[in-house]
Amino acid sequence: MGTVSRCHRRQCDGGKASSVPPGMAARRALPERFADAADLTGAGKRVGPWPLPQVLSRSVERREEGRAEKRRGALLHDTRQILCMQNEQGGAMKAAVVQFRPTFGDVPGNAARILELVTEADAELFVFPELALTGYLFESTEEALALAQAPDDRVFDPIVRAAREKPAAVVLGFAERSPSGVYNSSMLVAPDGSRTTYRKIQLFWGEKKIFLPGDRPPETVEISGVRLGMMICFDWIFPEVARSLALQGADILCHPSNLVLPYCQAAMVTRCIENRVFAITANRIGTEERAGQSLTFTGLSEIVAPNGEILARATADREEVLVVEIDPLAARDKMATPTNDVLGDRRPELYTVGVMPGAADD
């Protein structure tokens, strides 16, 4: 029998920017509606010595009403060719990618918004954007430190309680205050309430003037048998980050982002293919104009399967929550073809890795 898959799309506040002033919690109610983006049934078939895997999840973007049925028909036509296997011993997980626009400097309001979204949406894993608590364009390190939080700060407590009650895992980006300075970090709140922090390794552009570079290697966290790894925004352009997590057994790359370049969403398809993992890239929307700069964020948050199929993708300019049922254990199958293991076939003894030839020692 095929597997029925469903992607839920929820639009938040009509995609409008928050008008709540800094220091005030956001209290607007979210629209109580979900729209099915796709309802597909796929059946696996055996061809040669290996099975063509079953479809577990898929979404359809319907930007033009007149093309909706045509696109749906094309999607149904190719379901048996999609390499997103449902592991016989696995199980579905509802994963949510959250695309929204934080209000700069309004830590209590942004935290309340995150709590509201976690409480309202039906999912077991939530991924929010980079620097979701503060906004992005800091004028100085001092300003970032003033708005930064320690990982055990009380602002996270309501989110931790919500994660326990659902239960769910929540990943969100924040400015991390530490004795040595401020980091661009993400936090994974587990269903048991534990908190794991990752510090962004590859800082982008003006971030280098504000944040300290991450000083710890990326690591995986196992939750209910599923291995999650965190990377942040510009980490995408360095394939070593995703590969490091894949080599540690990550099933899902949780990728909070504030993307302004047009390349990442497509590049994450490649990261998924070359590592045979799921990736959830949560981008923000809107424009920030501060510190003499103007940055417009590209939206298009997405959930991508190990075969590179885009299971859900948000719009470029609306706040949305997309929920997709996936089987995380599908990422344990590393065979790109019947004879090619994307991790097992590596030949690291022949690769040039580490310091570039001719680079000066630090």
Encode pLDDT of 169-225 as tens digits: 999 999 999 999 999 999 999 999 999 999 999 999 999 999 999 999 999 999 999
> According to the model, what pLDDT value does residue 90 have?
52
Give 91's pLDDT tier (boundaries 50, 70, 90): confident
Give 2's pLDDT tier (boundaries 50, 70, 90): very low
Question: Does residue 349 sit within a domain?
Answer: no
- pLDDT surpassing 80 at residue 300: yes
> What CATH number does the domain containing 281 carry?
3.60.110.10
Question: Does residue 63 sit within a domain?
Answer: yes
Pick the closest to residue 57 from 307, 229, 245, 274 (CA basis): 307
> According to the model, what pLDDT value does residue 45 have?
25
Question: Does residue 116 sit within a domain?
Answer: yes
157-165 and 107-120 are packed helices; what angle lies between their axes, rounded to 10 degrees? Answer: 0
Least confident range from 28-37, 236-245, 276-285: namely 28-37
Burial (CB count <10 Å: 0-12, 13-18, 19+), residue 65: exposed
Better-scored residue on pLDDT, 182 or 76: 182
Give 356's pLDDT tier (boundaries 50, 70, 90): confident
Mean pLDDT of all residues in 135-141: 98
Overall domain count for the chain: 1
Cα–Cα distance for residue pair 263/163, rounded to 1 Å:
32
Better-scored residue on pLDDT, 29 or 167: 167
Q: Which domain, by its residues, includes 296? A: 3-343
> According to the model, what pLDDT value does residue 139 have?
97
Question: Does residue 292 sit within a domain?
Answer: yes
β pairing state of 169-178 and 181-189: antiparallel
Mean pLDDT of all residues in 232-257: 98
pLDDT above 70 covers what percent of the chain?
75
> According to the model, what pLDDT value does residue 11 have?
75
Count of all residues that appear for the chain in the document: 362
Least confident range from 15-24, 92-101, 350-359: namely 15-24
pLDDT averaged over every residue in the chain: 81
Better-scored residue on pLDDT, 48 or 138: 138
Mean pLDDT of all residues in 133-140: 98
- pLDDT surpassing 50 at residue 40: no
Encode pLDDT of 4-29 as tens digits: 245 677 776 544 433 333 333 332 23
Give 359's pLDDT tier (boundaries 50, 70, 90): low
> According to the model, what pLDDT value does residue 124 have?
98
Burial (CB count <10 Å: 0-12, 13-18, 19+), residue 69: exposed
Question: Does residue 355 sit within a domain?
Answer: no
Better-scored residue on pLDDT, 205 or 55: 205
Question: Does residue 278 sit within a domain?
Answer: yes
Better-scored residue on pLDDT, 358 or 312: 312
Could you tell me the CA-to-CA distances from 61 to 70, 114, 117 in Å, in that order? 12, 25, 22
Question: Does residue 300 sit within a domain?
Answer: yes
pLDDT above 90 covers what percent of the chain?
72
> According to the model, what pLDDT value does residue 4 have?
29
Least confident range from 58-67, 178-187, 209-218, 282-291: namely 58-67
Cα–Cα distance for residue pair 37/78, rounded to 1 Å:
17
Catalytic residue set: 130, 200, 233
Question: Does residue 353 sit within a domain?
Answer: no
Burial 8-42 (b: 16+ CB within 10 A, else e): bbbbbbebeebebeeeeebeeebeeebeebbebeb
